[in-house]
């Protein structure tokens, strides 16, 4: 007599295996929201050479086995549920223990002190992943938001150089790597990287992080610049 056997769980589609797991009360849930951000993101991290996460889409381990980074986001145009975000700056401290795609990120957010209460709330919703859309994957990747605050986030774009200053907590400067054509820096184009398809290679010139018990220095290490065009699922 034929036996009715349950399907091997390892053969189920990934989506079904994830849905069958016990719920995690600490996991943030994304709610589709009407938001959009256009601007630029640049960062400096602990990798010795250009970040392998870009070309491997987070599957390859960072060169040091972990990824420590600061990120700077300039919002040239943006909104959250009708609230204007244009002209605001954001800084992030990011601590990733292994491969980017394996999650367990710890993140601190520094939001431009000029942001209104609604804008501040919206930015935290976007960068925690709870607003859904482009950054919705953060609900799975970020395990802990170790801090969030309004701060004087100063960002400069000066030719091939980019700078961020957040008091004594983050002080960074990077420079795009010159290409064969001096008018165009070295760039990876048409990628599937979550930040955006075009990533400009850069290097840290001077870079210090001193906050939340982290003491990091990234001078001479991997950096990148990426134009961003992100939006929520409800946009």
**Interstrand relation of 89-96 and 222-231 (parallel, antiparallel or unpaired):** unpaired
Residue 215 lies in a domain: yes
* pLDDT, tens digit (0-9, with 9 covering 90-100), for 25-56: 455 666 668 999 999 999 999 998 887 777 77
Handedness of CA 19, 21, 22, 28 (dihedral sign): negative
Read off the pLDDT of residues 156-172 as tens digits, 9 standing for 90 and up: 999 999 999 999 999 99
Selected residue with higher pLDDT from 71 and 24: 71
Burial 101-127 (b: 16+ CB within 10 A, else e): bebebbbbbbbbeebeeebbebbbbbb
Cα–Cα distance for residue pair 228/197, rounded to 1 Å: 9
Residue 98 lies in a domain: yes
Rounded Cα distance, 167 and 111, in Å: 13
Is residue 13, in this structure, part of any structural domain at all?
A: no
Beta strand pairing call for 35-45 and 67-80: antiparallel
- What pLDDT, in 10s, does the model give residues 79-137? 999 999 999 999 999 999 988 888 899 999 999 999 999 999 999 999 999 999 999 98
Q: Is residue 5 part of a domain?
A: no
- The answer to whether residue 1 is domain-embedded is no
Predicted local distance difference test score (pLDDT) of residue 207: 92
CA distances from 135 to 38, 139, 143, 169 (A): 13, 8, 14, 25
Report yes or no on 211 lying in a domain: yes
| Domain-embedded: residue 60 | yes
Q: What are phi and psi of 29, to 5 degrees?
A: -110, 130
Residue 13: phi and psi, rounded to 5, are -55, 145
Range of the domain at 63: 39-231
Domain-located, residue 93: yes
CA–CA distance from 9 to each of 6, 22, 24, 36 (Å)? 8, 15, 20, 38
The label of the residue with tokens 């990934």 reads 14
Count of domains forming the chain: 1
- Average pLDDT of the chain is 86
């Amino acid at each position: 007599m034929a036996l009715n056997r349950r399907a091997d769980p390892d053969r189920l589609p990934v989506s079904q295996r994830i849905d069958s797991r016990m719920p995690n009360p600490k996991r943030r849930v994304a709610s589709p929201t009407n938001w959009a951000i256009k601007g630029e993101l640049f960062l400096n991290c602990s990798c010795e050479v250009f970040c392998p996460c870009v070309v491997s889409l987070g599957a390859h381990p960072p060169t040091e086995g972990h990824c420590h980074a600061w990120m700077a986001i300039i919002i040239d145009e943006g909104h959250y549920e009708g609230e204007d975000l244009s002209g605001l700056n954001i800084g992030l401290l990011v601590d990733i223990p292994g491969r980017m795609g394996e999650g367990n990120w710890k993140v601190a957010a520094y939001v431009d002190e000029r942001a209104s209460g609604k804008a501040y709330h919206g930015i935290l919703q976007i960068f925690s992943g709870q607003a859904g859309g482009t950054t919705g994957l953060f609900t799975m990747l970020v395990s802990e938001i170790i801090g969030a605050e309004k701060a004087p986030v100063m960002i400069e774009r000066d030719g091939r150089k980019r700078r961020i200053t957040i008091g004594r907590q983050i002080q960074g400067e990077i420079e795009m790597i010159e290409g064969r054509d001096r008018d165009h820096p070295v760039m990876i184009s048409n990628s599937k990287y979550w930040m955006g398809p075009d990533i400009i290679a850069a290097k840290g010139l001077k870079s210090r992080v001193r906050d939340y018990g982290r003491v990091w220095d990234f001078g001479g290490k991997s950096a990148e610049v990426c134009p961003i065009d992100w939006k929520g699922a409800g946009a």
